[in-house]
Amino acid sequence: MNRLAPTALILALATVAPGCDLVDMFDDLEHPRTLVSVSVTHHATAQDGSFPYRGGDGEMRVFDTDEGWSVTLLGAYVTTTAVVLHRCDDAQVDLELYRGPFAEDFRREDLDMFTLGGVDLGASSYCSATVTYGPYPQGSAMNGLDPEVEGATFYVDGGATKGGVTVPFTLRSDAVIEVEVDLSQVQGGGPLVVHGGEDFPIELVVSKTYDRFFDAVDFEVATTEELTAQVAAALELETRADLDAVSP
């Protein structure tokens, strides 16, 4: 009786998943995989163990810099064009972007996560990731985005005030920015570990801290080129990754 059970099982499965689908099914059973999805979000610098309020959903962001300037971001977008996961053995896995490059609107509610893409992975460990910020595709449907976002890696519009002096700025870059994100401590003090066959997808959240864009900047003397370079440098320094949700 027991010797007939495997045959009966195979015949039953074959009626559900004929041909190559049956091979795939047995491969999935032998080598289970887990969906790892990557989301993006933004926030202000944590204070006293929590993230401060710097503006609501759809509103401009207002914050003070370390040089005492009050900055108002009327509009700000950063485009993520790729994410590559690096295994601890140096192999790499490209993330599938579900909707292509994503121009993140910093007027969306802080810590509101947008799922960028995902990939099915077997048992493996990941020590780092490369997040690429690049130009939003030309000729793409803008979906209500500011026209200036098309072709831009980032677009930041606003002003800074200090001592009765107000300095407006409009910053735009089409340079590609590759950021290496450390995953070696992301999971209980160790790397991101995928066992394969987890009951639920693994959620990796990539975040950016926007109120550090203008650290050490004197707006009265800084040029547009210098401010643009400052935002690019801040994106490299202030991009990090967490599991499930962003921690202060």
Residue 34 · residue 120 · CB < 8 Å: yes
More confident residue, 244 or 26: 244
d(CA 84, CA 36): 12
pLDDT reported for residue 31: 74
d(CA 171, CA 153): 11
State pTM to two decimals. 0.87
19: DSSP letter: T
For residues 112-126, average pLDDT: 97
Q: What would the pLDDT profile of 10-57 be if each residue is shown by its tens digit?
A: 444 445 455 555 544 444 556 799 999 999 999 999 999 999 999 999
pLDDT reported for residue 148: 86
For residues 142-153, average pLDDT: 82
Query: Residue 120 forms beta bridges with which residues?
Result: 35
Whose CA is closest to 39, among 242, 248, 247? 242
Residue found by looking up tokens 């009966």 in the block: 8
